[in-house]
Structure formats: structure tokens, C-alpha cells
Amino acid sequence: MKRILSIALVFIMMGSFKTRLYNPSWIRINLVGYRTQAPKVAVWCSKENEQIQQFQIVDILSGKPVYTGKKVESFGAYGPFKAVTRLDFSDYTIEGRYVIVAGGVSSPEFTIASDVYRKGADFCLRYMRQQRSGFNPFLKDSCHTKDGYVLYGSSKGIKDSSYVYVSGGWHDASDYLQYATTSANATYHLLMAYRDFPDVFNDIYQANGLAGSNKIPDVLDEAKWGLDWLLKMHPRKDWMFNQVGDDRDHAGMRIPKEDSFYGKGIQRPVYFINGKPQQRGKFLNQTTGGASTAGKFASAFALGERQFKAIAPSFAKMLREKSLTAVQFGEAMPGVAQTVSVKSPYIYAEGNWMDDMELAYAALYARDKDPQQLAKGMKLASKEPLTPWMEKDTAAHYQWYPFINIGHYEWMRQLKGEAKKKLLSYYKKGIEQVWSRAQKNGFYRGVPFIWCSNNLTVSFAIQCFWYRIESGDTKYQPLEQACIDWLFGVNPWGTSMVYGYPAWGDTPIDPHSAFTQLKKYHIDGGLVDGPVYTNIYNNLIGIKLYNSDSYAAFQSNLAVYHDDFGDYSTNEPTMDGTASLIYLLAALAK
């Protein structure tokens, strides 16, 4: 059922509270649940200028109130609401199943337990397997097996239109393009998730993604799928490719097979990184180098070597070699490599590269302990102390990618004293920038509503988590938790932003996906893009809602979110966002 039925009518019949027949108020809760010892906040919101002074928690089994909360913090208007109030029940730690009652309305049911996130990371791995190109275990079929033909390779003696074998990897989103930047970042997050939280993951799938144990945790199987493809995209020390396919892919929705949209039979174009601007329809992109991609390659290879050294020594040796040639490629070509578009104006407009090379040196230093790697990495860290969107509160599409400086964290893990304090100060300053905006509204929302806002939200929650763990400073934990809660229902729309998670909650059912639209397949675990500023939405090309808006009451001049196939800007799942979420869910499961 799309909407969870409130149990308010049950309580009316029981006489537990008085209510009006119509009440323009709602209580937003984390649909997945609340960890026993973590901060616990729900948000009461109203379309009238009302105030509440207290709330009650009601036990589902007994139907009786078990807690009266008076920690309420009132705010003014936000989005579609005239009044928003935070309801803090962090001191209630008894495990069970509950609803919150306040201001004449009740919340959906929720759980308090220590293990509410226990299966979340593995659940989201389902989406990663479904995104596989080459052999797709969900479809039990293969696609894009003939990729592809080279473009822009003449500077390195690769004749354009010559063949290079790069089948494999993951489709980027609901389209079937494949980007080295998002794939490398996703791979790194999966490798980190296992390194930092190895006990969270199961082994119930084989390396090819089909059911069956292979004595390797499923998250490492998925990471290796990414690494195998990245190796193909960096086949020689002076060759590196940035993407497979382009926006000609968008000619029509279909279940992935062999595409013939590109003028070369069923091969797709493979774009070589030459450090120069490349075709963008009537425009050229603003490529200035290759370090933004090369740094991501090098870090994934270096961490991959450490994770697979005991499992697959020969594979690890290859990763070691490629980590060195990838970082050399980046050093020889400082600057950013943006993606290519042929028909539409939308690209991944990456605008920074120093964070990527910083991470590369951090990952290499963890293995080599080379003082030059330390010096280079820390110099780059000082040149980009803050991920720019945190300070600027805006960005072009994927302009500051990844949306978190992972290199700072990897250096923190290895360094002590003043060097670590400096890195922590970078993270703290970025968090303070977001907090300065967030503390002004009842949802503690300080992340901008740019395209893929959910990806930014996940990344920022991870940064808050890393800062808290490495510094011991818990000041920003409420903000960290507010970002987590936002993803799972504490938002104006009252919905989880992850397909099918939790199974009993309000989650996307009509995403921008051929799998769901054409075949009614479930895309379990996919994190959708998330809300965008209304002025962005109103100026996007080709958006058309196909159904009545089930969230119409909660749209506003601030931001919109639509659970509708036609809205590719807010309701399309992404592979890299989901990989980042897997790391966050693994952290929450501990």
C-alpha cells in the first residue's frame, strides 16, 4: 500500500485523544526506525500557525501511552508548512513498536531497537547487482557485450573508431551510460564499507551475482565487479577512458540489451581522456585535464589491492601496478575531465580534482609509507580544505564530486597530532557551514536542493559521522542524525527515499526506471535523486508527470519531489548514490 494508514482512527475509537475530522498537520518519523542509544527526533508540521507543547509515545501492543515528551523546539514556516516543531525523545530507550501522538494527529508506526539498520546495507547491494552491465544476474542475461569504439584517442596513437573491449561495470542510473568517475567512487565506498565494517555483510551471492556462497562477502564481490571494469578502462599506463556511451542512450526506455543508437552497430563509444574539451552537442565541455578521474582510479586500485591481497594475490598485484600508473596519469594531466553529451545540455560538470588526487596519495601512503606521497597529499588537502558546495550552498550537476572529501578521512586514520587536528578542522568548518543553514528550520535541512540532493545528504551524513568518530566531538550528532532521518521519512513528503526500504514504509513505487515501468521489476535498494529546488524543476527539459501527484499537498515554492516515472530529476535512482548509502547503512548497523 502506497501510504501507511495512520492508526489515528483506532485511537479515536479508543478515546485516547481528541481530534478534528480534518487536521492539516502531520508527524514525520524515520520509517526504518530509531537506534536505542542514538538521537531520536520526529517532526510535527502544520499548514496552520499552531504550536504544541508536548507529545506522547504510544505502545502499539498495549495501546497505552508510555512516554510524555516535553522537549519540543518550535520553528516557523518551511516549505509547504506554516509551523514546524521538533519532537525530541532521545532519552526514551525501551525497544518496541510505537506511534507518536501530538496536536490531534498520530505518526506512522515506528520501531526503537539497537539493530534497526542491520540488513540495510545488504538490501541496497541488490540494486548494485541489478545495475551490472555485461552479465546481469537479475535478468540472467547479458548486455553491452561489444563495447566499444574509441573516440578522442588520436593524441595517444589510438585511431578513432578502433575497438577496445570494456564490457562490464555498472550502468550509472536508469539510463545505461557508464562513467569512470561514478564507478570508481562507488567502488571505493564499497571497499571502505567492508574495511570499516566487515561483520555487517553476508555471503549469499557468487561473484557473478547469482545466488550461492563463494566464501567472499557479497560487498567485496560487488567491489571486484567495479574494479574489473576500471582495469579495462585503464588498459595501459598512458591510456585512460572516462565514459562508455553518451546521451544518445536516452532515445528510448528499454531493458538493457545490445544498443544500436550510436552509428557503429551494437558497439558504444568509449571516450578517451585527452585533457582537452570534448563534444557537448552544440557546445564543448570544459575539460582541462584528467586528474579528477585518474585520482579516483588510483585510490580504488590501491584500496582494492589491500582488500584482495589475501583473497586473490595475482589480482591484487595487478591493482598495485595500476594504482601507480593511474596516479602518474593524473600527475601528468592536472585538471578535470568532464563527461560528454551529444544532444542534451546535461553533463557531469566536474569542477575540482585536487580532492581526488589527495585521496589517491592517501590510499597509496597507507600501503607504501612514502614520505613524498604524504607531502603531496597534505599539500592538496590544504588547497581544498572544504568540499565547495558546503560553503557555496550551490553547484552545477556533479560539479564538486565526490560530494565529500574522502581524502581528509583517510589521512585522519593514518596521522596524529597537529596534522590530524588540521584535517579535523577542515571537516568541522564544512559542517559548520551547513549547520549555519540547518539550524534555522525544523528539519535541520542545510543541504541544498540541487540535482541529486539525496547523494549530497548521504555524503554529508558520512562526513559528520567521520568527524564525530575521529574527534570525539558529539556537537553535530543531531545534524548527522537529521540527515539520516531525512532520507528515511523525516522530510516534508514523509517518504523514504530508497526503493522498498523499509518494506512496511512509504517508499518510491514509480521511479524513473525502465525496469519498473516496462516490466514491473522491483529495484530494491535504489536511492532516488531526491528533492530539487522548484525553480530548477520548472526549467528542466522533458519532464512530464504521468499520474496525479500523491504528494501535491507537500510541494512548495522551495522544493519538489515526485514519485512519478516522468520526473527524472527527483525520482531516478543512481548507482553511485546507492553505493555511498551502503557505506552509511553499514556504519549504522554497528
Non-local CB neighbours of 421 within 8 Å, separated by 6+ positions: none
pLDDT score of 258:
86
Residue 381, pLDDT score: 98
List beta partners, residue 501.
498
d(CA 379, CA 270): 33
- All three cell numbers of 29: 518519523
Report pLDDT for 12: 33
Cα–Cα distance between 303 and 179 in angstroms, integer? 20
Q: How far apart are CA 92 and CA 410, in angstroms?
A: 35
Rounded to whole angstroms, the Cα distance separating 31 from 450 reads 24
Joined together, the cell numbers standing for residue 241 give: 577512458
- CA dist 326 and 293 (Å) reads 9
pLDDT at 22: 61
> For the chain, how long is the longest CA-to-CA vector?
80
CA–CA separation, 258 and 145 (whole Å): 7
Distances (CA, A) of 148 to 136, 262, 343, 502: 18, 10, 20, 39
pTM recorded for the entire structure: 0.96
By DSSP bridging, strand 149-151 and strand 269-272 are: parallel
41: number of Cβ within 10 Å: 23
Rounding to the nearest 10 degrees, give the CA dihedral for residues 310, 312, 313, 315.
-140
Residues whose CB is less than 8 angstroms from the CB of residue 53 and which lie 6 or more positions away in sequence, other chains included: 70, 72
pLDDT in single tens digits along all 590 residues of the chain: 333 334 443 443 333 333 345 689 999 999 999 999 999 999 999 999 988 999 999 999 999 999 999 999 999 999 999 999 999 999 999 999 999 999 999 999 999 999 999 999 999 999 999 999 999 999 999 999 999 999 999 878 888 999 999 999 999 999 999 999 999 999 999 999 999 999 999 999 999 999 999 999 999 999 999 999 999 999 999 999 999 999 999 888 999 988 888 888 899 999 999 999 998 777 899 999 999 999 999 999 999 999 999 999 999 999 999 999 999 999 999 999 999 999 888 899 999 999 999 999 999 999 999 999 999 999 999 999 999 999 998 899 999 999 999 999 999 999 999 999 999 999 999 999 999 999 999 999 999 999 999 999 999 999 999 999 999 999 999 999 999 999 999 999 999 999 999 999 999 999 999 999 999 999 999 999 999 999 999 999 889 999 999 999 999 999 999 999 999 999 999 999 999 999 999 999 98
Please report the pLDDT score of residue 519 as a whole number: 97
Q: Residue 280's beta-bridge partner residues?
A: 283, 341
DSSP tally for the chain: helices H, then strands E = 16, 19
Amino acid in position 86? R
Q: Nearest CA to 261 among 180, 177, 338, 339? A: 177
pLDDT at 2: 38
Instruction: Provide the CB-side half-sphere exposure for 524 (13 A, CA).
Output: 12
Contact 350, 336 (CB under 8 A): yes
Check: CB of residue 515 under 8 Å from CB of residue 508: no
Convert 143-152 to b/e letters by CB count within 10 Å (16 or more is b).
bbebbbbbbb
C-alpha cell at 82: 506554516
